Structures are given as structure tokens and as C-alpha cells.
Amino acid sequence: MTTVAGTTNTSSNTATTSSSKTSALGQDQFLTLLVAQLQNQDPLNPADATEFTSQLAQYSQLEQLFNLNDSMEQLATAQNNSERLSALTLIGQDVVVENSEFTFSKESVEIGYKVDGTVTDVDLLIKNSDGKTVATLSASDLSEGNHFLTWDGKNSSGTALDPGTYSIQISAKNGTTASASVSPLVRSEVTGIDLSGSEAKIVTALGEYAISAIHGAYDSTQSALADSDG
């Protein structure tokens, strides 16, 4: 009985799959219907030439849409593969990523902020995994662009903190009516590329980040502080 039930379910699934595949009118089905219409027309009342021409035009448009869809899929695949391979060239370079989280491993970390607009005061609050503020860095450069500061891994009292996951929270003030946006940045050397997902990810000492989050790549020997206006 178990075998029969399994066979019944398989047949049902096959029928459902077949039904879903044939539910949409494809290129071959459209042409078959058109030929059948011509073969079965009334000799005493043949199909109107104008209508026939219109149907041929619809078939031509359908064929072009299928070809365009195939071309777009091939182009998207090629572009995705190109981006994934290009990501490999980032290994050994420093990248600037817009992200608030980073991993601290007892080495100084270059963190930053991106100013878009006008601000009068910017503070970078370093928070631990519990959400507690452990250090505060005050920004001196308030001009538009990317700016970086070096955090030595110590709290506000000068005590070295334990390794772990930390985050950046931006506190910005605007003394004018103009709008402004300040985003957190981290900078780290790329040590590897993860191609296992649909989008390539860069692997750094501060964590893994999506390629789309990268704001720039630099020579690892070049200080981020020299790129503060980038």
C-alpha cells in the first residue's frame, strides 16, 4: 500500500508540473495554433488577410521577446561572473566599506564616517556586543566626504578591551536647516573572497562584507588618513 501511495503522489506531482509548464502559451504552441487555424478554416469563408497579418505580427513580436529574454539572461550571467572574478583582484588591498559592525582583535582599527551635507559636530560611539558604549571618538573634519580615525581598542578610561564584535554609532549635529547624512565606515585589508553565495563577499580581519558595500579600494600601504577627502 505504501508503494502504491508513493506512485500516486508521484503521478500527481508530475501532472501538476506538466500542467504548470503548459499553462503559459509559448512560442511553439502559438505557432501550432496558427497553423491549425489555417488548416481548419472554412474554404467558403477564409480568414481575413488583415487578421492573419496581425497574428503573424504577434508571432514575430513573441519571438523577439523570447530572444530578448534569453539575451538578457545571458548578459546578466556574464556580468555576474565578471564581477565575481574581478573581486579576486581585491585580495591584498585595503577596502572602505559602509558598515557599522566590525571585529576587534587587539589591533588598532581604522574606522570612519561619510558626511553628506552640512554638520557641526560628529562623534563616533564604539559599542560592545551588549550595546554598551565603551569609547567615544570625536571627529575634527566635518567637511563632505570620507574621513577616518584610528581606534586603539581602549575604552574611555584607557583600558584595553577584549577581542570581539563591536559596532559604530554615529552621533551628528546640524546647526543649520540644511539636511545631512553621516554613515559609518570601516577600512581593512582584504584577505580572501567568498564566492559561495549569489553575491561575492570580501573577507577581512574586521569581518565579511558584500561587494556592493565597498566604497573604494586602496593600496594597503597607503594610510586611510591620507584619503580623508575621498
Q: What is the pLDDT of residues 100-115, one digit of tens each?
A: 999 998 889 999 999 9
Asked if the model's pLDDT at residue 15 lies above 70, the reply is no
The pLDDT tens digits of the residues spanning 26-54 come to: 567 767 777 777 777 767 666 666 766 67
Distance CA 140, CA 119 (A): 11
Asked if the model's pLDDT at residue 17 lies above 50, the reply is no
pLDDT band at 221 (very low <50, low <70, confident <90, very high): low
Distance CA 30, CA 38 (A): 13
Q: Which residue type occupies 174?
A: N
Average of per-residue pLDDT values in the chain: 76
Contact present, 95 and 188 (Cβ < 8 Å): yes
Buried/exposed code over 161-175 (b: 16+ C-beta within 10 A; e: otherwise): beeeebebebebeee
Share of the chain above pLDDT 90, in %: 23
The Cβ-side half-sphere exposure at 104, using a 13 Å CA radius, reads 27
Asked if the model's pLDDT at residue 147 lies above 60, the reply is yes
Q: 0.85 exceeded by the pTM? A: no
Distance CA 120, CA 180 (A): 10
What pLDDT, on a 0 to 100 scale, did the predictor assign at position 5? 43
Contact present, 209 and 190 (Cβ < 8 Å): no
What pLDDT, on a 0 to 100 scale, did the predictor assign at position 162? 94
The pLDDT tens digits of the residues spanning 53-107 come to: 676 677 677 677 777 777 777 666 656 666 666 777 888 888 888 889 999 988 8
Mean pLDDT of all residues in 149-174: 92
Asked if the model's pLDDT at residue 224 lies above 50, the reply is no
Asked if the model's pLDDT at residue 164 lies above 60, the reply is yes
Mean pLDDT of all residues in 133-161: 92
Mean pLDDT of all residues in 219-229: 52
